[in-house]
Amino acid sequence: MTNKDIFLRGFFKENAVFTLLLGMCPTLGVTSSAINGLGMGLATTFVLIMSNLVISLVSSFIPDKVKIPSFIVIIASFVTMVDLLMAGYVPALHEQLGVFIPLIVVNCVVLGRAEAFASKNKMVPSIIDGISMGLGFAMALTMLGAIREFFGSGKMFGVTLFNETYGMLVFVLAPGAFIALGYLIAFINRVRKA
């Protein structure tokens, strides 16, 4: 498999949200706006890239009995870095994302890529896989957040497009996340088959 195939896989063929339906907790929990989706997606991308890099380098030295706990410790280290950096440099976004930032540690996308790809491949393909899966995840969260924000409040990335009376409250609330995600997955599946 070439590096180009690895890179494109995270956006289309194996997108964590639209195809594999992984990482649904942050997908549905933080995507009330496009900025929240993008912020969570980029935080997860950083963790994916760095954890894939380290795990690809050290996995051959880790005994099989402690591989998963070791991977979790590596992932948790990078999540702690992201959490502290976001608290220091983007406190408003950090407050909006709240508990979902520490939950990146147990996100199926991150742990799944560590086990399925990074632990079995060399450094460069693992980094490319982290970039691909992370940016694909960020794209999905941003798209879902943009749709929910547009229909829920008439805004896009915080910019008002319609007056305040335009919004449909259901899209701001949790059921709106399910509705928007369902239609988005149906649309993407339709485009894929065309």
**Per residue in 67-91, pLDDT tens?**
999 999 999 999 999 999 999 999 9
For residues 56 and 131, give the distance between their C-alpha atoms in angstroms, rounded to a whole number. 14
Chain centroid offset of residue 76 CA: 16
Contact 17, 112 (CB under 8 A): no
Contact 133, 8 (CB under 8 A): no
Q: pLDDT tens-digit profile of 157-168?
A: 888 888 767 778
**Is 98 strand, coil or helix?**
helix
For residues 171 and 191, give the distance between their C-alpha atoms in angstroms, rounded to a whole number. 23
Q: How confident is the model at residue 14 (pLDDT cuts 50, 70, 90)?
A: confident
CA distances from 105 to 34, 150, 161, 192 (A): 22, 30, 36, 31
CB-neighbour burial class of residue 58 (10 A; exposed 0-12, middle 13-18, buried 19+) = middle
Q: pLDDT tens-digit profile of 23-62?
A: 888 888 888 899 999 999 999 999 999 999 999 999 889 9
Identify the pLDDT of residue 2: 79
**Is 124 strand, coil or helix?**
helix
Identify the pLDDT of residue 172: 85
R_g over Cα of the chain? 17
Hunting for tokens 């406190």 — which residue is that? 91
Contact 143, 73 (CB under 8 A): no
Q: With both helix axes pointing from N to C terminus, report the angle between 123-153 and 174-193 in degrees, rounded to the nearest 10.
A: 120
For residues 21 and 16, give the distance between their C-alpha atoms in angstroms, rounded to a whole number. 6
- Which range, 19-28, 35-44, 116-125, 175-184, is most confident? 35-44
In degrees, rounded to 5, the angle at the alpha carbon of residue 137 between the alpha carbons of residues 66 and 29 is 90
**Is 109 strand, coil or helix?**
helix
